[in-house]
Amino acid sequence: MGSKIIRFIFFGNYFVGILAVALTIEATQQLRLPYNSINYYLLLFLAPTVYYTYAYNKVSVKPSSTNPRNQWYYKHKKFINVSQIVLFSLCMVLAINLLYHNFTNFLKLPLAYWAAIAVIVAAGALYYGLLPKSFLRFNLRNTGWLKAFVIGFVWACCVNVLPLIMLKIETGVGYHDSVFWTWLFIKNWMFCTVNAIIFDIKDYPSDANRHLRTFVVRYGLRRTIFNVLIPLLVIGLLSLGVFAYFKGFGFPQVFCNVLPFILTIYVAYSMHKRKNILYYLMVIDGLILFKAICGIIGMQFVK
């Protein structure tokens, strides 16, 4: 029973929705901003769940003897199709409700906000090649080594840009510390990028067969770990130290924000041994949840 629940949460991409909400709450606390509405958080949870499930369901047209997630999608195809309709309908209701209660504020959004929305929507649509191939064949995930940076960028926009846009729409509150916001955005971008590179290790055989030049395919597993992942994480730690010094962060806050980097370095080092799909979904993606929790705890020490 426990195994079925775990597969349902992780294979069904509900954990992805949890990550989106957790990272958004972390960013909101770190920027010391008011929270968005419950309506927005529900939409934020459901939309990535529907998005990732739709994208993966498209490629799971026949069962695979070597891919447990593919097998799960094929076995539960009827349930997934029904749940997608229900969840998508809920997303539409929540989106329409947001629009109905804030229609005037939507129209008053500055041009810069609309430009940000356009970039996020375009990146999201091209991220998995969700547009019809007859319209556009370009798929950002198929851009080789750029793939991980695209994934990290979309996630950073989701948790650092969208909440600010919605806060402006719902409350009229803006954010003006551009230096701190930029640092947080880049930190989330790079952390999620490193996470995506680690996740690419899972797809190494299939990416190599498709001639998709990800970091792992291009440089091999060992060089990716020691020449890409660990240096990026060390740079992240150094930049955190420098920024914490100039911003006057206290030790508990710095310690909480350092922990996810240390744990990710350990996990990256351990990736020379092949893991199963649930390990990637629970542990690798779990690093993002751990980062969000540490960031939220760290803010409790700020006076």
And the tokens for 70? 């593919």
Sequence letter at residue 60: S
Confidence band, pLDDT 50/70/90 cuts, at residue 149 = confident
Q: Which of 41-50, 177-186, 217-226 has the lowest mean pLDDT?
A: 217-226
How far apart CA 143 and CA 139 sit, in angstroms, is 7
Non-local (6+) Cβ contacts of 225 within 8 A are 268, 269, 271, 272
Domains in the chain: how many in total?
Answer: 1
Q: What is the pLDDT of residue 251?
A: 86
Nearest Cα to 77, choosing from 61, 93, 88? Answer: 61
How far apart CA 24 and CA 156 sit, in angstroms, is 9
Residue 242: domain span: 2-299
Average pLDDT over residues 265-275: 80
pLDDT cut 90: percent of the chain above it: 28
> Residue 49 burial (CB < 10 Å; 0-12/13-18/19+)?
buried
Four-residue CA torsion sign, 269, 270, 272, 277: negative
Sequence letter at residue 106: F
How far apart CA 229 and CA 208 sit, in angstroms, is 19
**Helices 14-30 and 162-171 sit at what angle, rounded to 10 degrees?**
70
Q: What is the mean pLDDT of the chain?
A: 83
Residue-wise pLDDT tens digits, 68-95: 888 888 888 889 999 999 999 999 999 9
pTM: 0.88
In this model, does residue 275 exceed pLDDT 80? Answer: no
